[in-house]
Amino acid sequence: MKIPKQIMSKQIRLKCLDCSGDENNEVKFCPVVDCSLWYFRFGTYPGTYIKSHGKESKNLFEKDAFGEAGIFSHKKSVSELREECLGLSFARE
Protein backbone atom coordinates (compact mmCIF):
# COMPACT_ATOMS: atom_id res chain seq x y z
CA MET A 1 0.00 0.00 0.00
CA LYS A 2 1.40 3.36 -1.05
CA ILE A 3 1.08 6.29 1.38
CA PRO A 4 0.14 9.62 -0.26
CA LYS A 5 2.82 12.32 -0.06
CA GLN A 6 0.45 14.74 1.67
CA ILE A 7 -0.10 12.34 4.55
CA MET A 8 3.65 11.81 4.92
CA SER A 9 4.40 15.53 4.96
CA LYS A 10 1.71 16.17 7.58
CA GLN A 11 3.16 13.37 9.72
CA ILE A 12 6.59 15.01 9.46
CA ARG A 13 5.03 18.29 10.62
CA LEU A 14 3.46 16.52 13.61
CA LYS A 15 6.81 14.93 14.49
CA CYS A 16 8.52 18.33 14.34
CA LEU A 17 5.85 19.86 16.57
CA ASP A 18 6.28 16.98 19.02
CA CYS A 19 10.05 17.47 19.04
CA SER A 20 9.70 21.21 19.69
CA GLY A 21 7.10 20.99 22.45
CA ASP A 22 4.17 21.95 20.17
CA GLU A 23 5.59 25.43 19.54
CA ASN A 24 5.14 26.68 15.96
CA ASN A 25 7.98 29.20 16.22
CA GLU A 26 10.34 26.53 17.52
CA VAL A 27 9.60 24.50 14.39
CA LYS A 28 9.96 27.53 12.13
CA PHE A 29 13.35 28.51 13.55
CA CYS A 30 14.55 24.98 14.32
CA PRO A 31 18.33 25.01 14.79
CA VAL A 32 18.72 21.24 14.25
CA VAL A 33 19.71 21.61 10.59
CA ASP A 34 21.30 18.14 10.52
CA CYS A 35 17.91 16.47 11.06
CA SER A 36 16.76 14.60 7.96
CA LEU A 37 13.25 16.07 8.42
CA TRP A 38 14.44 19.71 8.68
CA TYR A 39 13.54 20.74 5.11
CA PHE A 40 10.03 19.35 5.51
CA ARG A 41 9.30 20.77 8.99
CA PHE A 42 6.46 22.98 7.67
CA GLY A 43 4.46 19.96 6.51
CA THR A 44 5.10 20.65 2.85
CA TYR A 45 7.91 20.69 0.32
CA PRO A 46 10.23 23.72 0.55
CA GLY A 47 9.31 24.95 -2.95
CA THR A 48 5.61 24.81 -2.15
CA TYR A 49 6.11 26.72 1.11
CA ILE A 50 8.16 29.44 -0.63
CA LYS A 51 5.55 29.82 -3.39
CA SER A 52 2.73 30.26 -0.90
CA HIS A 53 4.62 32.50 1.59
CA GLY A 54 6.73 34.61 -0.78
CA LYS A 55 10.39 34.68 -1.73
CA GLU A 56 11.29 36.27 1.62
CA SER A 57 10.66 32.89 3.24
CA LYS A 58 13.43 31.29 1.18
CA ASN A 59 16.01 32.03 3.89
CA LEU A 60 14.09 29.70 6.24
CA PHE A 61 15.51 26.83 4.16
CA GLU A 62 19.14 28.01 4.07
CA LYS A 63 21.10 26.10 6.68
CA ASP A 64 23.74 28.85 6.95
CA ALA A 65 21.05 31.22 8.27
CA PHE A 66 20.79 29.03 11.38
CA GLY A 67 24.51 28.80 12.17
CA GLU A 68 26.25 30.78 14.91
CA ALA A 69 26.71 33.80 12.63
CA GLY A 70 23.42 33.37 10.75
CA ILE A 71 20.42 35.66 10.96
CA PHE A 72 18.46 33.03 12.92
CA SER A 73 21.27 32.11 15.30
CA HIS A 74 20.03 30.72 18.62
CA LYS A 75 22.80 32.70 20.32
CA LYS A 76 21.22 36.06 19.46
CA SER A 77 18.75 37.87 21.67
CA VAL A 78 15.17 38.49 20.60
CA SER A 79 15.96 42.18 20.10
CA GLU A 80 18.88 41.37 17.80
CA LEU A 81 16.75 38.98 15.75
CA ARG A 82 13.95 41.54 15.52
CA GLU A 83 16.37 44.22 14.31
CA GLU A 84 17.81 41.98 11.60
CA CYS A 85 14.49 40.58 10.42
CA LEU A 86 12.55 43.82 10.42
CA GLY A 87 15.37 46.25 9.74
CA LEU A 88 14.44 48.23 12.83
CA SER A 89 16.50 49.42 15.70
CA PHE A 90 15.05 49.77 19.17
CA ALA A 91 16.25 52.19 21.80
CA ARG A 92 17.73 50.41 24.79
CA GLU A 93 16.88 51.73 28.20
Residue 78: the pLDDT is 58
pTM for this one?
0.63
Length of the chain: 93
Hey, what amino acid is at 42? F
Is-contact 39 74, C-beta < 8 A? no
Residue 92 is predicted with a pLDDT of 46
**pLDDT for the residue 54:** 87
What average pLDDT values come out for the chain (93 residues) when binned by 10 residues? Answer: 74 90 88 87 89 87 76 63 56 45
Q: In this predicted structure, what is the pLDDT of residue 85?
A: 58
The type of residue at 39 is Y
Q: How many angstroms separate the CA atoms of 78 and 4, rounded?
A: 39
Torsion of CA 84, 89, 90, 93, to 10 degrees: 110
- Res 93: pLDDT: 42
